[in-house]
Amino acid sequence: MSLKGLFITGSSTDVGKTHTGVVLAKSLTSKGIKVIPRKPVESGCSPENDQLIPADATALKRAAAYDGLLSDVCPYRFREAISPRTAAYLSHQVLTTKQLTDVCQFGAEEGFLLVEGAGGFYSPLSEDGLNADLAQSLGLPVLLVAEDTLGAINQVLLTAEAIKSRGLELRAVILNQAKDYASPEGLNNLEELHPMLDCPIYTQPYQEVTGDCDMPDDLIALLTR
């Protein structure tokens, strides 16, 4: 199945994938583009009324003004804040890459499929695969998010190489600027990465995932082409 969309991955965990996805979903929706958000599996969910609530998936659903069910966005939820594969094992469940692929593809032909992985590109995701395997199964171009801190260059280059080794297109890199990070004098990851990558690189101010922020029109055009 050939789909129009994007797979959002990170150079590590907690680098701003959901924030980026929320900003993109809001920006696309405001332009009249129907977004189909998917975070097929999420760990670290909070219990509420005998249910586990996936915070990231909920934020994506709201940002996209998605009228489907939250269970369509994120059917697999776990309480433990660890890799989904391990969390599923502890819950006596088996997750496969095919299951997660099917979740992402369901109804996706109706709009722009926006898939957020869990953790970094090589983080364990299912019993038989990594985030990389889900991205490869979907065949979507990839948006890589990294925290704009010391060490980002190494993380971005390693992840970019991994993405390309899977035969996937790295559409762009976003350096997420954390609000509480005191950047060392002279640090400029954006400038240093430019000659090392053959895709556009952007910086993005950090905000809470529910914060209002627009993506530049040129970046939106690039990500949706």
- Where are the domains positioned within the chain? 5-223
Catalytic residue among 39, 61, 98, 179: 39
Class of domain 5-223: alpha beta
137: nearest Cα among 174, 107, 96: 96
Cβ atoms within 10 Å of 151's Cβ, excluding its own: 12
How high is the pLDDT of residue 216?
86
Tell me the pLDDT band of 2, cut-offs 50, 70 and 90: confident
Say yes or no to pLDDT of 208 above 60: no
Question: What is the rounded average pLDDT of the residues 174-203?
Answer: 88
The residues that bridge with 203 in the sheet, in sequence order, are 175
Amino acid in position 115: V
How high is the pLDDT of residue 162?
98
How high is the pLDDT of residue 184?
85
- Joined tokens for residue 20: 């980026």
Assess contact for 6 and 143: CB atoms under 8 A.
Answer: yes
pTM, 2 dp: 0.94
Tell me how far apart the alpha carbons of residues 64 and 12 are, in angstroms, rounded to a whole number. 24
83-132 confidence digits (pLDDT tens): 999 999 999 999 999 999 999 999 888 899 999 999 999 999 999 999 99
Q: Is 39 a catalytic residue?
A: yes
